[in-house]
A and B are shown apart, each in its own frame.
Chain A
Amino acid sequence: MNEQELLSIADDELVLGWRDSEWTGIAPVLEEDVALSSIAQNEIGHARALYTLIAKDPDALALDRRPEEYRSSALVELRFVPDWARTIARRYLYEHADAIRIGRLAESDDKAVAGLAAKIQREEAYHLMHADMWAERLRDEPRFRAALDELLPYALGLLEAADRPALLAATGLENVAPIERGRHDDSWPQLWEEMTMVRRSEPAGVAW
């Protein structure tokens, strides 16, 4: 596991945390609002922990890069509010793909990486439970099926080629051509602009 791959995972977690937290206050029901916001916050926490493995200052990695320097997948950059079916389809595919790649990290020879991955796995288990219960409920919804078809190619792109069959097995979906990481979604620069605005506006030398 090299640094670029760790950075890809960290960026995915950060950006998905940003996107899912757009539901805070406007989710379909209050309980879901709390649950999804909490999950979004966890993802940002995972990003922070992964950034800390790579660099001394996680804030600098999270907020001081140019938008084109991020390694996030277009999957997590897509803006879905107010489309709940696609939001859940992304959560479902992302969590299953993430479980596979975090499982890989947990097997790493690097003790710090393996240890952090084990911690992340324990929280992700609840994310997976949340995604699975929603997927089960929406299974026969045409909008949800369509969203799965639309997003599966991106989800496959989150994984190494060797790990992709495991995602298909976990979700029961048919294989399709993957969309590889590398091209940002058109909505990404605007999200980056918004999320780093406060950081960029701070006076020189300020410490939070």
Chain B
Amino acid sequence: MIWEVFRQERKGQPFQHAGSVAAPEAEFARAYAHEQYGRRGESAALWVVARDAILDVEDFVDELGRNYHRVDGYSLKEKLKEARERAGTAVDR
């Protein structure tokens, strides 16, 4: 069984993924995480979570290419160029 370990470097800081440990049950996971991610004083606290308990969300479909939902999807430069051409004020660069 795999357990994901999140490590807080100092009190008040966010927990960040540190790695994982293999352990048959919660008590072993706790002990192994303690040794592997805490024995050099590199952590103020750990979260140890059964990998099975983590909900995956990784499906981000964008079939219609609606890139205007994104900040980088709306390029003003191109639109400006087209507008200038229509108005006959295009400048050569």
- Cβ < 8 Å to A, chain B residues 12-60: 21-25, 27-28, 31-32, 34-36, 39
Question: B35 and A133: CB pair below 8 A?
Answer: no
Question: A38 and B35: CB pair below 8 A?
Answer: yes
What are the residues of chain A within 8 A of B32 when measuring CB–CB? Answer: 31-32, 34-35
Q: Roughly how many angstroms separate A87 CA and B32 CA in the complex, as a whole number?
A: 18
B66 to chain A, nearest CB (A): 46
Question: A133 and B31: CB pair below 8 A?
Answer: yes
Assess A133 versus B28: contact at CB under 8 Å? Given A31-B22, A126-B34: yes
What are the residues of chain A within 8 A of B36 when measuring CB–CB? Answer: 31, 34-35
B34 to chain A, nearest CB (A): 6
* Chain B interfacial residues counted at CB < 8 A: 13
A44 to chain B, nearest CB (A): 14
* Chain A interfacial residues counted at CB < 8 A: 14
Question: A29 and B27: CB pair below 8 A?
Answer: no
Q: Which DSSP category, helix, strand, loop or mixed, fits chain A's interface?
A: helix
B44 to chain A, nearest CB (A): 16
Q: Roughly how many angstroms separate A35 CA and B34 CA in the complex, as a whole number?
A: 9
Q: Roughly how many angstroms separate A35 CA and B35 CA in the complex, as a whole number?
A: 5
Question: A130 and B39: CB pair below 8 A?
Answer: no
Question: A129 and B31: CB pair below 8 A?
Answer: yes
Residue of B nearest to A37 (CB): B35
With beta carbons under 8 angstroms apart, the residue of A29, A30, A130 that contacts B31 is: A130
What are the residues of chain A within 8 A of B27 when measuring CB–CB? Answer: 129, 133, 136
Question: A30 and B35: CB pair below 8 A?
Answer: no
What are the residues of chain B within 8 A of A31 when measuring CB–CB? Answer: 21-23, 28, 32, 35-36
Residue of B nearest to A32 (CB): B32
- Cβ < 8 Å to B, chain A residues 128-161: 129-130, 133, 136-137
Q: Roughly how many angstroms separate A41 CA and B71 CA in the complex, as a whole number?
A: 53
What are the residues of chain A within 8 A of B22 when measuring CB–CB? Answer: 29-31
Q: Roughly how many angstroms separate A130 CA and B29 CA in the complex, as a whole number?
A: 11
Residue of A nearest to B20 (CB): A31
What are the residues of chain B within 8 A of A133 when measuring CB–CB? Answer: 27-28, 31
Q: Roughly how many angstroms separate A130 CA and B28 CA in the complex, as a whole number?
A: 8
Q: Roughly how many angstroms separate A38 CA and B39 CA in the complex, as a whole number?
A: 8
Q: What 5 additional pairs, Cβ within 8 angstroms, besides A34-B35, A126-B31?
A: A30-B22, A32-B32, A130-B31, A133-B27, A136-B27
14 residue pairs of the A-B complex, CB under 8 angstroms, read A29-B22, A30-B22, A31-B32, A31-B36, A32-B32, A35-B35, A35-B36, A38-B35, A39-B35, A129-B27, A130-B31, A133-B27, A133-B28, A137-B28
The 6 tightest CB contacts between A and B, nearest first, are A31-B32, A35-B35, A133-B27, A38-B35, A31-B21, A38-B39
